[in-house]
Amino acid sequence: MSRIDQLFAQLKRERRKALMPFVTAGDPDLDFTAAVLVELARRGSSLCELGIPYSDPIADGPVIQASYTRALDKKIKLAGILEMLAGVAPKIIAPIVTMVSYAIVYRHGLSQYVADAQRAGAAGAIVPDLLVEEAADLSRICRAADFSLVQLVTPTTPRDRALRIAESSTGFLYYVSVTGITGERTQLPQSLVDNVGWLREQTPLPICIGFGISTPEHVKHLAPVADGLIVGSAVVRRIAEASSKPRAAVLKDVGDYMAGLIAALESA
């Protein structure tokens, strides 16, 4: 079992759900990214998603796009990110999953990426642009290493295709809540609960919902049907203030925000 398998098994025994914040690696710098990861884990985050900056947005809204641009402008490289991760992973209990374009994985080498990321302390990878038709090689490598390969299902994914994606995924399935890009939203689609309910009847994998989740109300609404919830833009937006505020204040703001969502999740 991978570390993520173990985590969700434990959460299921305890009748709890996971909350997973997203952080862009290197925005505003790698030292601060490390500090944020430690703070998020200290506040009770179950997992942490670490975005590897990429020049061509896949499904990222303006907040995350801007954070990737800032990191790339500072010449943040994969090697530096993995070095940072190796220093911070032993300090936290929460598994860390990289959100990474398949182009980066492919260029680095599939086996090499898995080995290097795992050596640095990552427990898996979310690869949003990996087509299920091309996933067999990476899926095989990840399974052999007990390194979770997380893939995405969207509201427009045909149901037969969603089943194929579930079969090639490990760790958990990332269910995209909306048709569109990442970003904070005031409302989520009414069909979301029904769609996730159908999917969870088809696969034993835990299902985590992302895109648009930003409020305690969202968390309480989705907690009954999801195994975990992913919060990205709302966290990244707060971190972006590190350039104009004292960093200790930004860390506290991010931690307080996440603690509020965790409290909502636990009371749902």
DSSP string, 59-79: S--HHHHHHHHHHHHTT--HH
29, 60, 146, 201: the catalytic one is 60
CA distance 128 to 111: 18
Residue 134: both structure tokens together: 């091309």
Q: Which among 5, 39, 49, 227 is annotated as catalytic?
A: 49
Alpha-carbon torsion angle 225, 153, 148, 104, nearest 10? -140
Residue 199 CA to residue 180 CA, distance in Å, equals 20
Does the annotation mark 116 as catalytic? Answer: no
What is the CB neighbour count within 10 angstroms for residue 107? Answer: 11
Q: Is-contact 72 18, C-beta < 8 A? A: no
Q: How far is CA 182 from CA 47, 114, 179, 255, in A?
A: 19, 26, 10, 21
Determine whether 60 is an active site residue: yes
Helical residues (DSSP H) of the chain, grouped into ranges: 3-13, 30-42, 62-73, 78-88, 102-108, 110-120, 136-145, 159-168, 192-200, 216-222, 233-239, 247-267
- Catalytic residue positions, numbered: 49, 60
